[in-house]
Amino acid sequence: MPTYSAPLENIKFILNDVLDANSLTEIEGYEEATPDLVEQILEEGAKLCEGVLFPLNQSGDEEGCKIEGDVVTTPKGFKEAYKEFTEGGWCGVSADPEYGGMGLPMLVNTVMQEMICSANFSFGMYPGLSQGAYEALHHYGTDEQKQTYLPKLITGEWSGTMCLTESHCGTDLGLLRTKAEPNGDDSFNITGNKIFISAGEHDLAENIIHLVLARLPDAPEGVKGISLFVVPKFLPEDMSRNGISCGSIEHKMGIKASSTCVMNLEDAKGWLVGAPHKGLKAMFTMMNAARLGVAMQGLGIAEVAYQNALFYAKDRLQMRALDGAKFPDKPADPIIVHPDVRRMLLTSKAFCEGSRALSYWVGMNLDISIKHSDPDKRQEADDLVALLTPIIKAYQTDMGFEIASTAMQVHGGHGYIWEYGVEQYARDARIAMIYEGTNGIQALDLVGRKMGAHMGRYLRRFFHPVSEYIEKNQANEKLQEFVFPLAKGFAKLQQSTAIIAQKGLKDPNEAGAASVDYLRQFALVAMGYMWIQMVEAAQKKLDEGTDNKAFYESKIKTARFFFARMLPEADWHFKAVMAGAESLMDMDESEF
């Protein structure tokens, strides 16, 4: 049977010792978000995840969702868990207090997303989609729309979706065909079909609020003709049924307890959200929130997979250690003594702890970008979030799947068996590399939009602090073994950036060919930047004479593994970037 324990000690280390999340209390509206309060909230969240959500993960996978007619039911126990989740206020952790939310920093919500995804990836889809709908309506909805929908989304009485994809258009939303005809008042009749709609129909909430992309009659072609509409399942004025229904649910590789629906709209009544033909801008508000959430899915799956691999490696007896028996009183040694098993476990551990720091840093900057009183600080933080969002979405979901697969490898044959649970993590993790923009699209976003934006302003938000940190600490004896490899990796990242910018101006295929390797190179350097700060924080605790010496020493040892065994991967990606596009683009389609 699988196991999960929320990594609260590691979480608190990142929040308090590495990032100094207490500084958020200096921002108006976050004054009460002290470390003590945040710790209490996260401890309660951990209990919910460990005791309520995690026990439903395997059974939910086995049972899946079911459809009869257009009615979808979730697996046994999900309704009760959702009721407990919503009654605890977890849908409104970072929501606006004006509409009933707790008003806590988005950072707290980011941490909760990690724990929820570790405990029950499928369950997390339902409140996760509601978060996207909330963000779009909060940013672009009218006052009436906000008053109508936000309080119910915050309590969880109503849930939300994002209805973007159609059978012929996924990434290229300019091809969508769903139509919106004006009714002569402020409403529209919307007709079309959407596919792959997560949480599109279910039995958890009283109402489902769909955010639907469609075209007005006078819409220009392409993405400039997309508008966003709010289309409730039940009309709020009298709770009569609207013309949107589920035609079928998908039979999927993973996240089987999450209902992924085909949604049919037949003169469904909807209302415009934001300006006509400006739906793409509102959509990206949903997408950016979703992409940060998906990054946490990658981390969440990696964490629970690692925990189970570690438990198994300490328990499973096979052969003797290469340098002699470690447990002579037992018939064999546990497999954790073997170097290759340790390589797999340390790769998993180094990723989880490093990406936790990186994604929490993004979450913290998201709060600064929204709430800080200084407009310059808001802009700087917003730039950093924009730059790092595609990086953490792609890298953390790639690695989430890789580490789930690694956990299966640690388990050997048992990893391939359903009862042990880890094969589910691999199946569940795989979708995160695809939805909310495939990871290849994230790489194109990085090199095509973010790299050159505002004359490189986004890049400077990351490059400048890293450069300053290296310069400040190059003579620090306790950090030198980490500063030098970081400096080397950072220099090559700068070189890759210059080469892509130079070649990409002449031939867009050069930028496209380099994009995935560049993103991975960037991610590894960013992880190195976070790991060296973790070393600094851990060393400070050791110098102070902490009682928890083993915990902080393990941070430094894990950092050594990262810098020795994982950061060098950036060199390979650097070489691939330098190889250019010719070997990719030279072959004719007929030669494949």
Residues that are catalytic:
436
- The closest alpha carbon to 337, from 346, 345, 347, 326, belongs to 326
* DSSP one-letter string for 195-261: EEEETSS-SSSSEEEEEEEEB-TTPPSGGGG-EEEEEESB-TTT-PBPSEEEEEE---SS-TTS-EE
Q: Assess contact for 302 and 355: CB atoms under 8 A.
A: yes
Report the C-alpha gap between 104 and 577 in whole angstroms.
41
Which residues are CB-neighbours of 497 under 8 A, at least 6 positions away? 451, 459, 518
Point out which residues pair with 198 in neighbouring strands: 260
Report the C-alpha gap between 245 and 161 in whole angstroms.
13
HEC secondary structure over 495-562: HHHHHHHHHHHHCHHHHHHHHHHHHHHHHHHHHHHHHHHHHHHHHHHHHCCCCCHHHHHHHHHHHHHH
Ordered alpha helix ranges (H), 372-507 = 375-411, 422-430, 439-445, 457-473, 480-506
Q: Assess contact for 33 and 24: CB atoms under 8 A.
A: yes
Q: Assess contact for 302 and 232: CB atoms under 8 A.
A: no
CA torsion through residues 563, 569, 573, 575, sign: positive
Angle at which helices 121-140 and 279-315 cross, to 10°: 160
Q: Assess contact for 18 and 101: CB atoms under 8 A.
A: no
Q: Residue 305 corresponds to which amino acid? A: A
Report the C-alpha gap between 169 and 258 in whole angstroms.
22
Question: In this structure, what DSSP letter does residue 177 have?
Answer: -
Radius of gyration of the chain (CA): 24
Question: In this structure, what DSSP letter does residue 470 have?
Answer: H
